[in-house]
Amino acid sequence: MAAEDAVALKNKGNEAFKAKDWPSAIEWYDKAIEANPNEPSFYTNRAQAHIKMEAYGYAIADATKAIELNPDFVKAYYRRAVANTAILKHGDAIHDWKVVVRKNPSDKLAKTQYDACQKMVKRDAFLKAIEVADAPSAAEGLDLDSMVVEEAYDGVRLKDTMTKEFIEDMIERFKTGKKIHKKYVFQIILAVKDLVYNEPTMVETHVKDDEKITVCGDTHGQYFDLLEIFRLNGFPSEKHHYLFNGDFVDRGSWSTEVALLLYSYKWLYPNTFFLNRGNHETDDMNRMYGFEGECKAKYTERVFKLFSESFSALPLATLIGDKYFVLHGGLFSDDETSLDDIRKLNRHGQRQPGQSGLMMEMLWTDPQTAPGRGPSKRGVGLQFGPDVTKRFCEKNGLEAIIRSHEVRMEGYEVEHDGRCITVFSAPKYCDSTENKGAFINIESDLKLQYTQFDAVPHPDIKPMAYANNGMMSMMGM
């Protein structure tokens, strides 16, 4: 195939990229590379599309290939630095930022990133040095009884239990950019922390004849789209159960609002409103992707620390009707892992998921089309094929696993011969991907009913507005 044919394919990829259709862009770049595997810019273009899809491991591989083809290609170092920064590999990223700054000294943004990366490496080392295994809770010394809600506070008051009236008022306050009183924030987080701490690592629930449960995927601080789910599908109630499958926070700039609303419903309906932990309910991700900064900007650092403690108390999975195993990431590196192993997992012994082990896999893994297991496209965890899913479901008497963790252009995707379902509930993700959102309703017959929905308008606050490290501009948001 002639070189100009390869360029034509790349141009089609660029058109799809401009239309924010990242999967199609990747397919065109694949074809361009097949036609001419020696053009480094094809790899950096594909790397950028992979970054948009959060396939950071693939982006690193593409950028590395481009560097092999042309060691002076600055853009390739830039892409690899962005991808390594995104998966918190600051030590690896810093080398590439250094190259970019050296080769292109007039690039102010790269210099800013290099400086920010140096700070992050130092901060990571500092946090590791001061880490204490049994650090005291941020709740110590917090005297809620003596905390006064001023006369001027114009919202509904909260006493010792959550009420529908309080939630309805809170929903409206958040819509107009108002906050709830700090005392109430503390009350909500502390109440829910205790509730979820006492739940099993895998919550088991059943759907009775006159009930239904709605499973939602990532909401990522997209508060107005969360309200759209409730508008379309009905608000939580004793008969209408909800399960939010992780990644409530980060990226979107209403993460405190999303977390507080979900927590308030958990407090109101402790036995029928469920929350699974996601990979973004972790300290290192919250520092990088905005939730820590947002808590500090809207409330206090102590609010973030309490949220952090509550996140580490969250269950890691939910079993619905003995048939659907719902968890944020996916399946495991070992075929011997069973539901009983999840039941026995002591999540309280390990607050953060770490780089390996069962908790990390539950929060981070992804499906792949090829059989067996493979390296992770995102550079963390692993990927599992249809045969892995089939064996796990058959061994544990399951219909399917339901997971989230990845953007799907249609809001959901059924893979692995119907045994692996991905649901993602943040439409027009980060204001930069033209994807739909979706949720799944399950009634007593245990059939899955999918609903897609579109993003709704929101006030003009950009994604990651509270991330303090320039990630937003770096990721091209």
Provide the annotated active-site residues. Answer: 280
Crossing angle of helices 301-313 and 255-268, rounded to 10°: 50
List C-alpha distances in Å: 166 to 104, 238, 256, 327. 55, 17, 16, 30
Q: Percent helix, strand and coil across the chain, each rounded to 5?
A: 50, 15, 40
Compute the distance between CA of residue 98 and CA of residue 84 in angstroms, rounded to an integer. Answer: 14
CB 467 within 8 A of CB 439: no
Show Cβ contacts of residue 340 under 8 Å, excluding neighbours closer than 6 positions: none
**How close are the terminal C-alpha atoms of the chain, in Å?**
35
DSSP H or E segment with residue 384: strand 382-384
Spatial CA neighbour of 456 closest among 189, 226, 205: 226
How far from chain centre, in Å, is Cα 201?
Answer: 19
Residue 232 Cα distances to 94, 100, 439, angstroms: 46, 48, 11
Q: Are strands 412-415 and 420-423 parallel, antiparallel or unpaired?
A: antiparallel
The structure tokens listed for 246 are 């992780």
Phi, psi of 119, deg, nearest 5: -65, -40
189 close to 310: Cβ distance less than 8 angstroms: yes
